[in-house]
């Protein structure tokens, strides 16, 4: 298979690249850090194709996506993994703006590009990286949790669009809990933490099985169910 992965320079994206390439798949790797992309290509070898890109540059993103598709001779799976969490070094609005630009706008743009490509092709799979945070709200991370709500709900809408078109397009919503990555290494309040290797193994299986939804790791389904039962007045009073 031919797979494009955004946010491939570290954490989940890098591990997805390594595990999919180990299975003999071609991987088109996108990230902002050229040096890390080159290191990853050297590690993977000829199955890796790399492009440096800020996914919020939509005009260039479309060119880069198409360049990778042409270079790999097609596309089967688009994994929209690029995302940001809390950025404490910026003023409050600049933090939220960056999160919304990457996690919501850039995700939506990538989803549109992939859907239109797969619609013409007649088949394909779009994989989005939402989160267990799609089921909760947080006063300390309002933009982040809202962006994950957006990603998950957006994919539901595109799953319905795929059904309407009759095209064989799978929309896979991955919902990870806490995973040890560069993004989370300073978080001291984590529980049920998974290694990135174990988490990505479960992600790869879910993608290969063309699941609509997958909690990573599976135990997080319990928290998601519990969160859905919490009435709105309790969320309004929480201090989290």
Question: How many separate domains does the chain show?
Answer: 1
* pLDDT tens readout for residues 127-180: 999 988 777 777 778 898 899 999 999 999 999 999 999 899 999 999 988 787
Nearest-angstrom CA–CA distance, 2 and 73:
8
DSSP E strand stretches across 117-207: 123-129, 168-176
Q: Can you give the CATH number for the domain in which 156 is found?
A: 3.40.50.720
Instruction: Output phi, psi for 108, to 5 deg.
Output: -60, -40
* pLDDT tens readout for residues 72-129: 999 999 999 998 876 665 678 888 999 999 999 999 999 999 999 999 999 999 999 9
Domain residues for the domain of 134 are 2-237
Looking at residue 192, what is its pLDDT? Answer: 62
Instruction: Output phi, psi for 15, to 5 deg.
Output: -70, -35
């Amino acid at each position: 298979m031919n797979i494009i992965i955004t946010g491939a320079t570290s954490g989940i994206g890098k591990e997805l690249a390594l595990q999919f390439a180990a299975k003999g798949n071609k991987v088109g790797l996108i990230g902002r850090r050229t040096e890390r992309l080159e290191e990853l290509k050297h590690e993977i070898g000829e199955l890796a194709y790399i492009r440096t890109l800020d996914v919020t540059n939509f005009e260039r993103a479309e060119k880069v996506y198409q360049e990778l598709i042409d270079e790999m001779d097609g596309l089967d799976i688009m994994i929209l993994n690029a995302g940001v969490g809390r950025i404490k070094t910026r003023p409050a609005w600049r933090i939220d703006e960056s999160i919304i630009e990457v996690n919501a706008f850039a995700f939506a743009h990538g989803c549109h590009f992939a859907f239109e490509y797969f619609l013409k092709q007649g088949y394909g799979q779009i994989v989005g990286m939402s989160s267990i945070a799609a089921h909760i709200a947080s006063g300390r991370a309002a933009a982040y949790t809202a962006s994950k709500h957006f990603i998950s709900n957006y994919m539901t809408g595109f799953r319905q669009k795929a059904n309407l078109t009759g095209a064989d397009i799978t929309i896979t919503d991955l919902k990870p809990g806490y995973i040890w990555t560069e993004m989370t290494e300073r978080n001291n309040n984590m529980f049920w933490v998974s290694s990135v290797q174990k988490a990505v193994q479960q992600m790869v299986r879910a993608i290969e099985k063309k699941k609509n939804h997958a909690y990573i790791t599976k135990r997080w389904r319990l928290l998601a169910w519990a969160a859905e039962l919490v009435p709105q007045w309790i969320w309004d009073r929480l201090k989290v």
